């Protein structure tokens, strides 16, 4: 699953350069040239990461950052501010407005890609291709394979995404609603019971290698991934 990045930048040449570089690196790219367009974009597709220019024609990018952080739907989106302003106070303001990182123009596309990768790894590890190992269980997003020890554990695409999300957020408990948002996608109207169906299929897929215990039900709260046995 490739990450979708929204670039908010009013200078067409920079916007194009960024789009080409990010697409080349395998990201899906959406663009906006002011904060109004950006909000409309976000309304229709929730991006996995936002690149936000500081100086925009309708209002400062920093104001948009504050708005995004104040709204439950957009609060968690990883955000990198791009700016020609490089004073320490600007950086502090940007970070206080909710930016996760800050790049001063001009920057090299390589540096930007490295920052994006590291931010996604930190904030949305299920969107990176890094293989994950937890106990005997190993999941490789590149080959879309899961192994329990030496044994391959075939599973459907939804079960794979569900396991990938849970493994990258081990120990944390997620409600059915949160799992729908994270794994099925925002704006998808699926009944919460659907989650239970896929959890059951996932456990069944893991059971030949006795790894089904890693998908744990937390009564009244939801599900979690843990390699520790619980009762």
List residues near Ca ion by CB under 5 A.
10, 53, 55
Give the residue closest to Ca ion by C-beta.
55
Shorter beta-carbon distance to Ca ion: residue 51 or 68: 51
Which residue from 200, 198, 178, 180 is spatially nearest to 189, judged by alpha carbons? 180
Q: How far is the CB of 11 from Ca ion (least distance, A)?
A: 5
Indicate the helix (H) or strand (E) that contains 226: none
Shorter beta-carbon distance to Ca ion: residue 39 or 46: 39
What's the token pair of residue 18?
Answer: 């960024």
Shorter beta-carbon distance to Ca ion: residue 13 or 142: 13
Q: How far is the CB of 53 from Ca ion (least distance, A)?
A: 4
How many other C-beta atoms lie within 10 A of the C-beta of residue 94?
A: 25
CB 97 within 8 A of CB 68: no
Q: How far is the CB of 15 from Ca ion (least distance, A)?
A: 10
- DSSP states of 107-172 as a string? --HHHHHHHHHHHHHHH-GGGS---EEETTEEEETTTTEEEETTEE----HHHHHHHHHHHHTTT-
Shorter beta-carbon distance to Ca ion: residue 99 or 183: 99
Q: How far is the CB of 133 from Ca ion (least distance, A)?
A: 43
Shorter beta-carbon distance to Ca ion: residue 3 or 7: 7
- How far out from the chain centre does Cα 120 lie? 6
């Amino acid at each position: 699953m490739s990450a979708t990045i929204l670039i908010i930048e009013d200078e067409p040449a920079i916007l194009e350069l960024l789009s080409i570089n990010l697409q080349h690196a395998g990201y899906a790219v959406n663009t906006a040239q002011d904060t109004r367009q950006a909000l409309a974009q976000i309304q229709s597709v929730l991006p996995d990461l936002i690149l936000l220019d500081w100086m925009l024609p309708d209002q400062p990018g920093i104001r948009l950052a504050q708005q995004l952080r104040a709204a439950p739907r957009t609060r968690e989106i990883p955000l990198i501010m791009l700016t020609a302003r490089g004073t320490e106070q600007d950086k502090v303001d940007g970070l206080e407005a909710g930016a996760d990182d800050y790049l001063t123009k001009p920057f090299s596309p390589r540096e930007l890609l490295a920052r994006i990768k590291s931010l996604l790894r930190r904030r949305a590890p299920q969107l990176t291709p890094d293989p994950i190992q937890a106990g005997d269980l190993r999941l490789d997003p590149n080959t879309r394979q899961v192994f329990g020890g030496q044994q391959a554990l075939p599973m459907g695409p939804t079960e794979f995404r569900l396991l990938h999300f849970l493994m990258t957020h081990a120990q944390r408990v997620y409600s059915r609603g949160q799992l729908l948002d994270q794994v099925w996608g925002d704006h998808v109207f699926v009944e919460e019971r659907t989650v239970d169906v896929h959890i059951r299929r996932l456990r069944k897929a893991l059971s030949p290698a006795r790894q089904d215990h890693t998908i744990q039900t937390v009564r009244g709260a939801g599900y979690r991934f843990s390699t520790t046995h619980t009762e």
